[in-house]
A and B are shown apart, each in its own frame.
Chain A
Amino acid sequence: MRVRRCWGWLLSLLLLGTGCWSRREVNEVAISSAIAIDEERNQTIRITMQILRPTAAVESGQPRSGTFNVTATGPTTAAAIRNLDQQLSRRPEWKHNNAIILSENVARQGVGEIMDFFMRNHQSRLDQWILVTRGKAAAVLVPRFQLESNQGIGIRRLNQSAVHSTAATVPVRLYDFVTSLTNPAEDPVAAAIETVEFPDPSGEGEVNPRIRMRGAAVFQHDRLAGWLDETEARSLDWFRGEATGAMVVVPCRKGPGRGTSVQLISTRSSLQPYWKNGQPAVRATVRATGQLGDLMCQEDLSKHEALVDLQRRTAAQMEAEMAKLMHRLQKDLGSDAVGLGVALERTFPAAWKKMSPQWREIFPKVSVTPEVVVELTQMGTSEGKLISSGGGGK
C-alpha cells in the first residue's frame, strides 16, 4: 500500500512538476502569415513579418486592417527573427506561415544559408510557398488583397490558381525548393511575385498597388541565374508536369482570325534519357488533355480531321515553346531547372557517377526533344462554329 501511494505521489509530481512545458495559449502568440527576407548593406539580414490581428475579424465598427508588418535585422535569419520580439508583445509563431518571399538581392547572393533556418526550425511548414521578387521583398507585404484578409492566404490562393488555371508561374513549395537545392543533379526554381500599380478604375488618378504572380526565378545551384517570362514559365511547368491549366492560343490555319484557344485540363510529363552518338540526350514526352476555350477562326471543327489537325498544331506550338525554354536554360542561364540531371541519374546511375563532376559543362550540350501529344476531350457547349461568315466558305 505504501509503495502504491509512493508511486501515486511520483506520478503526480511528474505531471505537476513539469509545469506545462512549452504551453502556449492561442492568444499568447503573434500569428505570422508571410515572411519577407531582404539583405541590407554589410550582409545584415532584414526580416519583415506580416502578423495577423485576430480581433480584426470580430471587431465591429470602423474597419481596421487585419494585419500589420514588423521588421527587424540581424546577422543571421534566426537572430533577425528573434529580434522581432523587441517590438512584438507576443511571441511570433510561424506555424501557419504561408509564404517566404526572397528579394532579388538575397537570391543573387545565394539562398542556401537562409534556407537552413526554415528547414531546421520546428515551426516552419514544409508546404509554404517560396517566391522571389524583383526589388525589395518587404514591399510585397504592403499592398492589400481586396478579397483576402492577409498576404499569406492571398499568395497561397494565387499559387493555387497558378496550378489550376493560368500556369503563368512555377509554384514551388519549401520542401521541393530545398530538395532541388540540395540535389546536385538539379537546380531550384521559384515563382516570381511583383507589385504592380494599377490606376484606379474610376479614373480618380489614385494608384492602387496590387500583387501579381507572373514568371519564375531560376537558380544555378543556390544563386539566382535569371528570370523567366510567363510563356517560359508555363513551358517549364509542362516539363515538370505540375501546373495543368495553361491556355494555349493556336494561330488560325488560314484566313484572318485571332486564333483558337485550347485550355489545358491536365498535363503529364516524363523525361526519358537515352544515348545519342555517345552523348546523353533526353526525350521529354508530354501528354496533355484540353478543351476548346474559344474559336476565333474561320474553321469548322465538326470534322474529325479538323480536330486532329488542331490537336497536332497545339502540340507543335507547345513543342516550340518548350524548345525555346530549353535553349534559354541551356545557353543563357545555365540552370537545370527542368531536372535533366535527376532523370539521367535515375536511368543511368553508373554513367551519371562519371558524368556528375562535369555536369555544368555537359548540361548545355544535352539534346532535348520535346514530344507533345494533345487530346481535345471537350468542345464546350457549342458545336462546330457559331456563325459562318465570308459567304459560307467551306
Chain B
Amino acid sequence: MHRTAQEQPLPADLSRTERLIRDRLAPCGDVVLRPFTAEGVPGMKSLIVYCNSMVDGQLIDEQALQALLLRMQSGPAALSSDPADPPTGTPSPTMTLRQAVTEILAGNLLLLVEGRTGAVVFRLERKLGRGITEPVVEGTIRGPREGFVEDPEANITLIRRRLQTPSFRLEWMRVGEQTTTPIALLYLDGVADPRVVRRARLRVRRIRIDAVLDSGYVEELIEDAPYSPFPTVAHTERPDRVAAGLLEGQVALVTSGSPQVLLVPTVLVQLLHSPEDYYERYMIGTATRVLRLLGAFLALTLPSFYVAVTTYHHEMIPAPLFQAIAAQREGVPWPAVMEAFLMEIAFELLREAGIRLPRPVGQAVSIIGGLVIGEAAIRARIASAGMIIIVATTGIASYAVPAYNLSVSLRLIRFPLMLMAAVLGLHGVVVGLLLLLIHLLSLRSFGVPYLSPIMPPKPQHWGDVIFRAPWWKMGGRQ
C-alpha cells in the first residue's frame, strides 16, 4: 500500500473510500462493509464498516443503526442537523486510512458518509474476559483482594478508583506491528519526575517488534540492563501496589491482554517490600520485612555457605554438629557441591513441574517428589539429610521474596555462587557477593540508582528500607 494514500484523510468520495478499505481489509474474512441507506431519505448514501469478531452485534443494532435510522427518518427537522453527527458516535473528519484500519480492528464501527472526509467512530467493542479475581502470585493476608485482569480498561478503572485526583494522567500508545497492542502510560502529575515520564514514554514509543502478547515483552524492551539477572522493571497484579507506586512517583504501564502492570523506575528494596508491610501495624510490618530480607539472603547464599563450610572450613562448625554432618555424609559418593547441585536441580525441576501439573495430579507429584525422592535419596546415600534440609530451606526462603522475578534471579545466581564456594571456599563466596554488589551498584532503573536509597545514601528514606516506620513517623511526600 502506498504510504501517501495511507496517511491522507479518507476521501469524500464514498466509492473510493470503500475500495481503499476493501483492498486493505476484505481478505481478512471477518471485516464487514455494508452500505447503509434509509428508506425515503434518498440523498443520504453511507457505508458502515466493522470487524465481525470484535464488535458486539447487539450493540451495533441498539446503538448505531437504530439511532441513525431514527435520525434519518424523522424528517427534515432532524435532517437539518448533520446526519453524520449522530448522538452516540464521534466524528473524525481527518481520519486517515491507517487510523481507520486500526479503529476497525480494535472493534469499533466506522460510519462513512458520501461527501464527507473521514469517518464517524462508534465504540462497540465486544467485552469479553473473566471477572476480577484475587491475585494469584501476590497474595496477602490483609489488604484488598482485587487483582488485575486482561482488559486494560478494567485495570485502569481499578487503579483510577484508588486515585480520584485531577493530577492523574493517562496516555495511550500502540505497540507491535502486527498486534498494535494498546499500552496505557499512567502517572501522577507533580509527583512523578518529568524526566522519568519522558524516558518511559520515549522507550515505549521506540519499541519495534511484531507482537506484544504480554507486558513481559514490553518489560524486556524498555529495561535498562538487559544483561543483568536483576529485574529493573517491577510487575504486579495488584492495583493497590500500582496506586502506591504512582503515589511514590513511579510510572505504570498497563498492557492490553496482560494482567501484570509494569512499574518503573524500580529499586531493589521495593522488590523486597510487600504491600502488607503497610497494611499491618508497623511492628508486625517491620518484623515480617526483616524476616523476608533474611529469606532473600538465605535463598541466595545458604547452599554456597554450606558447601564452603563443609568442604573447606570444618573448624567453623560446632563439634557435635560437625560429627552429625560427617555421619550423614558417610557413604555419599560425591563432593558436597555435586550433592548440592543435584538436589537443587531436583528441587527446581519439582517446582517447574508443579506449575504445569494438572491440579488433580499435583498432590501425587508433590508426595512423590517430596517424600519419595527426599527420603529415598538419603537412604540410597545419594544425598545427606543435612543437604536436603539446606535445599528445602533455600527453596522455602526463596518464596518469601515477594517479587517473583527477583526470587527467580536470586535462585539463578545461587548456582554460580555455589561453584565459587566449591572452588575457593568462603573466599569464593565473598568474592562472588562482592562482584554482585559491584554489579548492583552499577545498575540503574530509568535513571534511578538500583540500590537507592541505601546507596547513594538518602537518610530521609531510611525509615522504609529494612524497617517500616510507623505512619505517624514517616514524613510527608519526599
Contacts and interface: CB of A to CB of B under 8 A. Distances in A.
A23 interface: yes
A96 B314 contact: yes
A391 B426 CA distance: 75
A93 to B, nearest CB: 6
B420 A24 contact: no
A16 B422 CA distance: 10
A26 B320 CA distance: 13
A93 B422 contact: no
A56 B419 CA distance: 32
Interface string B419-458: 1101111000000000000000000000000000000000
Contacts of B311: 20, 23-26
Interface in B300-317: 310-312, 314-315
Interface string A2-40: 000000000000011010101111110101010000000
A21 to B, nearest CB: 8
Given A15-B419, A16-B423, A152-B319, A27 B312 contact: no
Interface of chain A, helix or strand or loop or mixed?
mixed
Interface residues of B, number: 26
A23 B315 CA distance: 13
Nearest to B327: A54
B467 to A, nearest CB: 37
Contacts of A96: 314-315, 319, 322-323
Interface in A59-106: 93, 95-96, 98
A15 B157 CA distance: 54
Interface string B326-343: 111111100110000000
Contacts of A57: 323-324, 327
Contact of A27 (B315, B326, B425): B326
A31 B419 contact: no
A22 B323 CA distance: 20
Interface of B is mostly: helix
A296 interface: no
Contacts of B156: none
A23 B425 CA distance: 8
A153 interface: yes
A95 B332 CA distance: 22
Interface residues of A, number: 27
Nearest to A22: B312
Contact of A26 (B319, B325, B419): B325
Contacts of A24: 311-312, 314
Contacts of A27: 326, 329-332
A16 B425 CA distance: 13
Greatest chain B CB density within 10 A among A18, A20, A125, A153 is at: A20
Contacts of B425: 23
A55 B327 contact: yes
B84 to A, nearest CB: 61
B330 A52 contact: no
Contacts of A56: 327
A169 B352 CA distance: 61
A109 interface: no
A125 B316 CA distance: 11
B323 A52 contact: yes
A123 interface: yes
B329 A25 contact: yes
A100 to B, nearest CB: 15
Given A25-B329, A96-B322, A152-B319, 12 more contacts: A15-B419, A18-B424, A24-B311, A27-B326, A27-B332, A31-B319, A55-B330, A56-B327, A57-B323, A58-B327, A93-B314, A125-B315
14 contacts: A15-B419, A23-B422, A23-B425, A24-B311, A25-B311, A25-B335, A26-B325, A29-B326, A31-B323, A31-B326, A54-B327, A57-B324, A58-B328, A96-B314
7 interchain residue pairs of minimum CB distance: A54-B327, A54-B326, A95-B315, A96-B319, A27-B329, A26-B326, A58-B327
